[in-house]
Amino acid sequence: SLNGLLFSPSPAQAFDSVKIVLPEIVDRSGYNDSHLNTALLNKLRSQFRFPKYEIILTSAVKTPLDQAVLEKLVAEKAADGAVVLEITHLRNFTYYLRDEIIEETDVTLMLTYFDKRTSRFGRFRADRSAREIAGIYSGPLPLALEATEELLNRLDDVFPRQSPGPRY
């Protein structure tokens, strides 16, 4: 029938997506801001869009990250790779200087990945710091998102985006 010809998927049309395990953000700094962690996880997820990737979300990895930990995680979830984003250092404080409220922020993020297909394991680090007048665009969130963007651009060599352009 015509309906069968138009709507039956052929093997050539089937998606062969790469399964990526994305644990929740690991905050080793002690800052523990759920809004920041959610924003960073959403930014991380934007790298892995369907149909090229399939995301498997899991709870945060509490143990120190090394290749054996990520290999085990990938094997347990029957995935092709894993990417973990950690906040290793975050310091944020405000003070008065003359008539202004100044906000100082230092953030260090570490992205650790494992690609089972190539047995490639690696780590990227991004540091950001700012001293600025306190406002809606100051603080840890903009700096951490900027650092995450840098890390994801470096991750493009391992797990390339489906299409170029801005991440959301």
User: Residue 39 has which token pair?
Assistant: 């924003």
- Biggest distance spanned by C-alpha atoms of the chain: 79
Q: What is the spatial distance between Cα 152 and Cα 158, in angstroms, rounded to a whole number? A: 10
Worst-scoring range by mean pLDDT, 2-11, 33-42, 65-74? 2-11
For the chain, give the mean pLDDT.
89
For residue 4, pLDDT beyond 70:
no
For residue 162, pLDDT beyond 90:
no
Percent of the chain surpassing pLDDT 70: 89
pLDDT band, very low/low/confident/very high, at 168 (cuts 50, 70, 90)? low
pTM comes to 0.86
Does residue 107 contact residue 87 with C-beta atoms inside 8 Å? yes
Neighbours of 116 (CB within 10 A): 17
Q: What is the spatial distance between Cα 157 and Cα 143, in angstroms, rounded to a whole number? A: 23
Q: What pLDDT sits at residue 59?
A: 94
Q: What is the spatial distance between Cα 40 and Cα 144, in angstroms, rounded to a whole number? A: 7
Residue-wise pLDDT tens digits, 91-150: 999 999 999 999 999 999 999 999 999 999 999 999 999 999 998 888 899 999 999 999
| Residue located via tokens 């029957």 | 78
